[in-house]
Amino acid sequence: MLAHGMLAGLDEIAGTGRDARRGGYSRHLWQGADLELRAWFTERAERLGLMVATDRNGNLWAWWGEPGPGAVVTGSHLDSVPGGGAYDGPLGVVSAFEAIGRLQASGFVPSRPVAVLVFAEEEGSRFGIACLGSRLMTGGIDADRARALVDPDGVTLAEAAVRAGVDPERLGADREALGRIGLFIELHVEQGRGLIDLGRPVAVASSILAHGRWRLTVTGQGNHAGATLMPGRRDPMVAAARAVVAVHEASSAIPGARATVGRLEVVPGGTNVIASTVHAWLDARCETDAGTRALVAAITARVEEAVGLNGCSVSVTEESWTGTVTFDHGLRECFGRELGGVPFLPTGAGHDAGVLAASVPSAMLFVRNPTGISHSPEEFAEADDCVAGIDALETLLRSLL
């Protein structure tokens, strides 16, 4: 049965990385499902006669024609959040292959190099930094810091790279790879309801909200659950619960702000143990850089007050930051012209195209998501809308090549 209608590529990987516990997919960098998807990518690319190469940072390239500067590059990512949907990432990769397949079938001969690009660890689900592959390529994260990142099993990025056949000493800014990208187009399922409201299948991205991740470390006093009476406890779990509510309340008071605590780590994490520390990860976003900084400052003040009610303290550490991205005006104008009356939409979700935008002309296409839900097994796109996305990508490639 074709679960995704005409998008054969999504059907080919529909069984890879299913998460029986959470539902949906868990596909994390250089682990089983990700390695299977990389093998699928290679096989799929070779079917189209493309030449596959892995760059210094574990990003995967499939070249139509000789690799070289000025290339038109399109793609997305194949990794997922824990329990993610089928479309976030893979839709852009599958659509790129479909569009190139159509161009080839029509006898089209590109006038400049073309590549399909898959960025490593876009979701940051294994090592905690979103868009890690594009940040490494562009020098947006220091290589030493990246090598020392640790996954939940205590494996460093450097160790994981070795196991995956990537030399950790060569991780970092890759001028050669970046220098080949003349422009980058990322097609992506919409993460939001903009296209539903417009009644349209496809949009061009205008901007990405400023966003970042912060680690809130709430410290109390670990102790015995049975021997410690309630008065005088300094329980960081209770303080963290107050902190989560404080995050929600502080951000709800600011129009347009979004702030989320979606992950906690309890130390030591025993049923009969009052925890000593709780790590909570904050994702915060707002329209402008200043607005996002102000949001995090307001959250920090509220959280400090909240954890103090339980005799605990909190430290706030910035783990990643991406300022507001405005996509390339020239490409936007070109897309508007070629796609006749296509709408333009901002997004609250981060993407590799947003990281690349600081270095090379970058653009995005969004495909309608009929519920707006993403980062969830419920994420969906109608087959007809996916085909409209491929149509748009094919049109753009024809005009740019």
The 42-81 site mask, x for binding Zn ion (CB under 5 A), equals ----------------------------------------
Which is closer to Zn ion, CB of 303 or CB of 363?
A: 363
The 332-361 site mask, x for binding Zn ion (CB under 5 A), equals ------------------------------
Distances (CA, A) of 62 to 67, 137, 261, 290: 9, 17, 37, 39
Contact status: 89 vs Zn ion (CB under 5 A): yes
- In the range 298-337, which residues lie near Zn ion by CB under 5 A? none
Stretch that binds Zn ion, among 83-91, 133-141, 234-242, 374-382 (CB under 5 A): 83-91
CB of 378 to Zn ion, least distance (A): 16
Contact status: 121 vs Zn ion (CB under 5 A): no
- Total binding residues toward Zn ion, as defined by CB under 5 A: 2
Stretch that binds Zn ion, among 9-17, 84-92, 137-145, 313-321 (CB under 5 A): 84-92
CA distance 202 to 387: 10
- Residue 267: alpha-carbon gap to chain centroid: 27
Cis before 90 (ω within 30)? no
- Locate 187 and state its tokens: 């097609």
CA distance 225 to 266: 15
Contact status: 291 vs Zn ion (CB under 5 A): no
Which is closer to Zn ion, CB of 89 or CB of 201?
A: 89
CB of 56 to Zn ion, least distance (A): 22
Stretch that binds Zn ion, among 86-94, 304-312, 365-373, 389-397 (CB under 5 A): 86-94
Cβ neighbours for 271, distance < 8 A, ≥ 6 positions apart? 225
Enumerate the β-bridge partners of residue 150: 156
CA distance 86 to 26: 10
CA distance 173 to 164: 19
CA distance 249 to 39: 45
Instruction: Return the residue nearest Zn ion (CB atom).
Output: 88
CB of 299 to Zn ion, least distance (A): 25
CB of 138 to Zn ion, least distance (A): 17
Listed residue (394, 375, 152, 170) closest to 265, CA to CA: 152
Which is closer to Zn ion, CB of 125 or CB of 251?
A: 125
- Residue 82: alpha-carbon gap to chain centroid: 12
With beta carbons less than 8 A apart as the criterion, state whether 80 and 48 touch: no
Contact status: 201 vs Zn ion (CB under 5 A): no
- Classify strands 202-208 and 344-347 as parallel, antiparallel or unpaired: parallel
Which is closer to Zn ion, CB of 93 or CB of 296?
A: 93
CB of 70 to Zn ion, least distance (A): 26
Contact status: 88 vs Zn ion (CB under 5 A): yes
Q: Which residues bind Zn ion (CB under 5 A)?
A: 88-89
